[in-house]
Amino acid sequence: MMATLINCVAEKTNAHSNYIRSVAFSPDGTKIVSGSNDRTIKVWDSSGQLELMSEKTHAHSDYVMSVAFSPDGTKIFSGSRDGTIKVWDSGAPPAQNRPSLAKTDACWLVAGGLELLSEKTNAQSDRILSVAFSPDGTKIVSGSTDGTIKVWDSSGKLELLSEKTNAHSSYVMSVAFSPDGTKIVSGSYDGTIKVWDSGALGLLSEKTNAHSHYIPSVAFSPDGTKIVSGSRDKTIKVWDSDALGLLSEKTNAHGGFIISVAFSPDGTKIVSGSGDKTIKVWDLGAPRAEYRPSSAKTIACRLVWQASWRC
């Protein structure tokens, strides 16, 4: 089975003034959030020309390494090299509709459509490289340069639920929940991709040497059957999520190394962000039925993904 990304449907040059570390679609697919080394979080209209909708400058005191929408689209989570996790209101509700929260739990800052709701300082012992919501919005997973994966309660004070020390032999660069919330995928500086049980954080499967360089980004497809990975080697790869078999790859997908990849909510597109400061949206080819005679001279049917990389 071979999968293919065939069309670059939108591109935004100079989207940030420095490397784009993370990109993600909103649940309804109408918006894209991006985080950058320039310490800024930006929200873009995903259609047409990727128009800027809102931004928060100085969102963190260091690089914004990871951003993610909550499943209902009302919040954005960000993780930074400064060791903090922050929760933002993506829609800036009217003042009369804001919840009453203790100052220790949250603070409100009007910031171009993004408001800070809460934060967790010293969330990990070193830099946070990735954060992701569970599908039901109740948990957050984080990965760090300290080699650990942690799962947090997303409400209130971001309480720690579970953790896996020495999850990889090097930095945990990217983490993501499966659509059903039962699994977590991680990508590492050690070049491996691993899939974990989201409860006990037991190892389910792994792919060594998944890329020829480190892996800053991994994500599940909306149906949970595929995983996309982006690497310093400038390659985007699509994997079967069970056996981690390679379905497709695109070499030289960007002029610079790939820092972030994500599926659209309907699974038909992949968005990628790069060190070359560009955002690209790729169309994922649809499967076609292919009939081939088997060795027993019977007819076998399988799904083949049309191969025609183009941008």
Ranges of each domain in the chain: 10-282
Distance CA 174, CA 219 (A): 8
Q: In terms of Cα–Cα distance, which of 11, 117, 13 is closest to 56?
A: 117
Mean pLDDT across the stretch 98-105?
A: 35
Q: pLDDT-based confidence at 121, cuts 50/70/90?
A: confident
Greater pLDDT, 83 or 56 = 56
Q: pLDDT-based confidence at 29, cuts 50/70/90?
A: confident
Which pLDDT tens digit goes with each residue over 272-286?
888 888 888 888 765
Tell me, letter by letter, the H, E, C secondary structure of the chain: CCCCEEEEEEEECCCCCCCEEEEEECCCCCEEEEEECCCCEEEEECCCCCCEEEEECCCCCCCEEEEEECCCCCEEEEEECCCCEEEEECCCCCHHHCCCCCCCCCCCCEECCEEEEEEECCCCCCCEEEEEECCCCCEEEEEECCCCEEEEECCCCCCEEEEECCCCCCCEEEEEECCCCCEEEEEECCCCEEEEECCCCCEEEEECCCCCCCCCEEEECCCCCEEEEECCCCCEEEEECCCCCEEEEECCCCCCCEEEEEECCCCCEEEEEECCCCEEEEEECCEEEEEEECCCCCEEEEEEECCCCCC
Which pLDDT tens digit goes with each residue over 285-303?
654 333 333 333 222 222 2
Mean pLDDT across the stretch 213-217?
A: 93
Model confidence at 203: pLDDT above 90: yes
Q: pLDDT-based confidence at 269, cuts 50/70/90?
A: confident
**Of the listed ranges 171-175, 229-233, 266-270, the one predicted with least confidence:** 266-270
Greater pLDDT, 244 or 118 = 244
Which pLDDT tens digit goes with each residue over 62-100?
999 888 898 889 889 898 888 888 988 887 333 334 344
Mean pLDDT across the stretch 15-38?
A: 89
Distance CA 80, CA 240 (A): 30
Lay out the sheet containing 279-284: strands in order across. 5-12, 279-284, 269-274, 258-263
**pTM for the whole thing?**
0.70
Q: What is the CATH number of domain 10-282?
A: 2.130.10.10
Which pLDDT tens digit goes with each residue over 126-167?
788 888 889 998 998 989 888 999 998 887 678 889 999 999
Q: pLDDT-based confidence at 176, cuts 50/70/90?
A: very high
Model confidence at 114: pLDDT above 80: yes
Q: pLDDT-based confidence at 6, cuts 50/70/90?
A: very low
Mean pLDDT across the stretch 162-175?
A: 93
